[in-house]
Amino acid sequence: MIEFRCAQCRVKLNAQPEHGRKTKTCPKCRAALVVPPAPKPPRKAAGPSQNQLRFADTLGVVYPADVTKEQLSDLISRETGKAPATDRQRAFAIDLGIEFDGGVTKYEIGKLIDAAIDRQETEENKLRELRVRKLLWEAEPNEILEELGWRGFRAVLICAEESDDGQTSLGLSTSQGMSIRDIEETFLMLFQGGQFPLFKQMLDLAQKQARR
């Protein structure tokens, strides 16, 4: 069962999983809503293979009856990694700036190396994100829309201009690849089921844009 709230009156609603991403009318305020997608069921951890179990038994590894493949793999690594770290492992760890004891084992130094690489990748990702933010900050609106579309996001750019006589003119662009249905769902979510006066006008503009 999907549980969600009406974006307008905040009443609690529910829907069957097969109704996810479909339009529904709120029974209280009659606003049009888009049902959120059904949550994915948690993935069950895979069990160990017969080869894993046999190998663990030959090593004398003690493991619980409900051990997972990943857990048993770690237990095996601990047992086989009791030997001293190799010169190659030590040199690689030093290059990464890792400090370790002289009696470090293969398993221990392997864990230290994995953690150092993960930290390095995290820092690189943060730097990459900052560069993207700087690019988007300096870019023109249409360039941002093109970038978001290229990254697979659904995006709508709305420009409103009011003339001296009080008339409002609208300009609208959508990211590449958005279908008319995508646009309708996006507008229903953005404008709470079409309750805003300009909703219909902007939706018509977006649909024309999608047909080009």
Cα distance between residue 6 and residue 193, in whole Å:
10
pLDDT recorded at residue 152: 65
Domain assignment present for 58 = no
- Same-domain status, 115 and 67: yes
Going by pLDDT thresholds of 50, 70 and 90, the confidence category of residue 156 is low
pLDDT tens-digit map of 67-90: 998 888 888 888 887 888 888 888
pLDDT tens-digit map of 103-140: 888 888 888 988 888 888 888 877 777 766 666 566 66
- Same-domain status, 202 and 151: yes
Look at the chain and report how many structural domains it folds into: 3
pLDDT recorded at residue 201: 60
- Same-domain status, 112 and 146: no
Going by pLDDT thresholds of 50, 70 and 90, the confidence category of residue 194 is very low
The residue segments making up the domain with residue 83 are 63-119
pLDDT tens-digit map of 24-74: 888 888 888 888 888 877 777 788 888 888 888 877 888 999 899 888 888
Mean pLDDT of 137-146: 66
Domain assignment present for 124 = no
- Same-domain status, 145 and 205: yes
